[in-house]
Amino acid sequence: MFTGIVTDVGRLVAADDRNDGRLLRIATKYEPEGIDLGASITVDGICLTVTEKGRADSSNWFEAFAALETLSVTEVGKWTVGRRINLERSLKIGDELGGHIVSGHIDGMATIVGKDVTGDQIKFTLEVSPEISMFIAKKGSVALNGTSLTVNDVDGNRFSVHLIPYTVEVTSWGDYGVGDRVNIEVDPMARYAARMFEALAERKAG
C-alpha cells in the first residue's frame, strides 16, 4: 500500500525486453541495504517487485520486472533510458498517510490536453476514457504517475489538477507536456462506492 507521496525521482538506466515482459533497472537515492528483495516500490505509480539491487559507480539501483499485463495497460514498453521516474516505497506501520490510499494498480492512461504554467506552478488538464471518468469527482483524489493529486474541475471526460512549486520540484512532472500520457489510478473509495450502487441496483432489479 502507498500514499501517492513521491519520495524519490529515479532514472531508468537499462531496460531488457523479454518475451514475457520487460526488466527495468532504475537508479535511485534509496540505499540498497534498506531495500529487501521482494519489496514493493511504485514506479510512476505502478506497483513493482524488487528482484535485484546494488550499487555501481557511486549510484544505487534496483531492478523490477514489468509483466505483459503491465505493458498492456501502461506505456512502460516505450520508456527509454534516461527517463525520470517517480518512486515511492511501500507504507510501514506508523508511517504518516500524507496523500490518499494508493494500491499501485493502474486503471489506465490519461492524456495531457492542456498545460498552463504560472510562475513555478502548473495546471494540467487531462482526458480519460468514459470508463475511468465516472470515478473522478471534483475535489476528489487521483493518483497520476504515482503522485496523489486533488481534482480541481471535471468536464465530461476531462479534469484538471494543480501542482504547487514543491510538487513540481520533487517529482518528474516538469518533464511533461501536451500529448504525453500518464498512468492513472482512481481513488479506491470511488470504486467501492460505484460497486455499492451497482449492487443496490442489481438487488432492486432482482
Instruction: Supply 28's cell numbers.
Output: 535511485
Paired residues of 186 in beta bridges: 142
CA-to-CA distance for 37 and 196, rounded, in angstroms?
A: 37
pLDDT in tens, the chain (206 residues): 899 999 999 999 999 999 999 999 999 999 999 999 999 999 999 999 999 999 988 899 999 999 999 999 999 999 999 999 999 999 877 677 777 889 999 999 999 999 999 999 999 999 999 999 999 999 999 999 999 999 999 999 999 999 999 999 999 999 999 999 999 999 877 676 666 666 777 777 76
Quick one: pLDDT at residue 116?
97
Please name the residue that has the C-alpha cell 474541475.
Answer: 153
pTM here?
Answer: 0.91
In Å, how far are 42, 98, 99, 202 from 3, measured between CA atoms?
A: 10, 6, 5, 33
Task: Give catalytic residue positions.
Answer: 2, 40, 47, 49, 67, 105, 150
CA-to-CA distance for 107 and 196, rounded, in angstroms?
A: 19
CA-to-CA distance for 33 and 19, rounded, in angstroms?
A: 31
Quick one: pLDDT at residue 192?
64
Q: Which residues of 33-44 are buried (b: 16+ CB within 10 A; e: fewer)?
A: eebeeebbbbbb
| Domains by residue range for the chain, with CATH | 8-89 (2.40.30.20), 108-194 (2.40.30.20)
Quick one: pLDDT at residue 56?
87
Quick one: pLDDT at residue 197?
65
Quick one: pLDDT at residue 195?
66
Quick one: pLDDT at residue 18?
95
Hey, how many other C-beta atoms are within 10 angstroms of the C-beta on 113? Answer: 14
CA-to-CA distance for 206 and 202, rounded, in angstroms?
A: 6
DSSP per-residue codes, 179-204: T-EEEEEE-HHHHHHHHHHHHHHHHH
CA-to-CA distance for 10 and 89, rounded, in angstroms?
A: 12
